[in-house]
Structure 1
Amino acid sequence: MNGKFVASSGKDALLRQYLLEASKAMEAVDNCYCYFVGVNEEEPDADYMHELWENQAAHRASLELDVFKNLIEKAKPLIVTMSNDPVLIIIEGKASF
């Protein structure tokens, strides 16, 4: 999954903090293979995330965990727009960690 979150003016740092908290919490989720938070210098109010999951069910299950429910509730009021790229099913490739 790839997503873009645009925060209301002046709230980008707080939104980024919540996304980074989610990233740290993902370390305890076995079937989350990666969760990256990134920025684009040309869009100061935007934050990007990239997630790689074992499958879609694993991602859906993570949204039911209290830690993520709480982070989502805190972040929602800060988000002006949100978009997701199409969900890709990876068939082959390489990742190094």
Structure 2
Amino acid sequence: MYGLIGKFTSADGKRDELIGCLLEGLKDMPGCLSYVVASDPADANAIWVTEAWVDAESHKASLGLPPVQEAIRKARPIIAGMESIAETQPVGGHGLSSVG
């Protein structure tokens, strides 16, 4: 499996709008096992995204899907910053099944 943990910073006062954009493109992403968007209780503009995929290729392919491209287009003007915190290798957990 392949995982990512990332942090987005929205433009001031735009966090809820950015969360909406991040959640908008989630349907029908082949290979996505988990995609969690969370607000940061200590920072009014910060958003954490935790992803689990069957493999890195599935994640890369998802970025070209039309709904994901549309979500990116809408989100881009209100993103003040973006950090890739970590690439991970999920091994299991609630809602995930390990892959052989």
TM-score, structure 1 normalization: 0.86
- Aligned residues between the structures: 93
State the partner residue of 2:43: 43
CA distance in 1, matches of 2:14, 2:60: 27
CA distance in 1, matches of 2:52, 2:82: 18
CA distance in 2, matches of 1:61, 1:30: 9
State the partner residue of 1:74: 74
CA distance in 2, matches of 1:39, 1:45: 8
CA distance in 2, matches of 1:50, 1:86: 10
State the partner residue of 1:89: 89
* Unaligned segments of structure 1, at least 5 residues: none
State the partner residue of 2:5: 2
Identity value in percent: 29
CA distance in 2, matches of 1:54, 1:32: 7
Q: How does 1:53-72 map to 2 (within 5 A)?
A: 53-72=53-72
CA RMSD of aligned residues (A): 1.5
Q: Which runs of 4+ in 1 moved over 2 A?
A: 92-97
* Unaligned segments of structure 2, at least 5 residues: none
Q: CA deviation at 1:68?
A: 0.4
Of Structure 1 and Structure 2, which has the larger fraction of its residues in strand?
Answer: 2
Q: How does 1:23-42 map to 2 (within 5 A)?
A: 23=26, 25=27, 28-42=28-42
Question: Aligned with 2:6: secondary structure?
Answer: strand
Q: CA deviation at 1:37?
A: 0.6
TM-score, structure 2 normalization: 0.84
